[in-house]
Amino acid sequence: MTNQKTEYSFEAKLNLPYEQALEKVTEALKAEGFGVLTKIDVKATLKEKLDTDFRKYTILGACNPPLAHRALSADLDVGLLLPCNVIVYEEGSGSVVKLMDPLSMLSVISRPEVESVAEEANKRLERVAKALNG
């Protein structure tokens, strides 16, 4: 298992089958106060809409209600950047998890109240990525 930071995400590579990785991600998010509001099965959607095959790939819309409330109270337009997206996809016999970095996503908004929320969300999602590795 590896953990790394990209320009706009936290990444964890798991030596787990896709289905187990999805479960582990959901539990790690829950431990940091995030619930999954949306779950998009990209493989199934592409098969249905385009009749094409694609690897197992899911987009999770994760939300921490207190953080979302604080951000929306400071700036209603923050809703355009919510929820925090998390992707899980199959890679070989393992899985890759990427969690968006709220600081990079919210950098388009220059409001100190929103930045403090993004910093807290950033720390929580970084802990999620670290928890996935062990």
Mean pLDDT by 10 residues, the chain (134 residues): 67 96 97 97 98 98 96 91 95 95 77 83 90 83
CATH number for domain 2-132, candidates 3.40.50.2300, 3.40.718.10, 2.30.30.60, 3.30.310.70? 3.30.310.70
For the question of whether the overall pTM of this predicted structure is more than 0.75, the answer is yes
Q: Where are the domains of the chain?
A: 2-132
End-to-end alpha carbon distance in the chain = 8
Distance CA 27, CA 62 (A): 12
Torsion region of 110: left, alpha or beta (phi above 0 gives left; psi -120 to 50 gives alpha): beta
**Which pLDDT score is estimated for 68?**
94
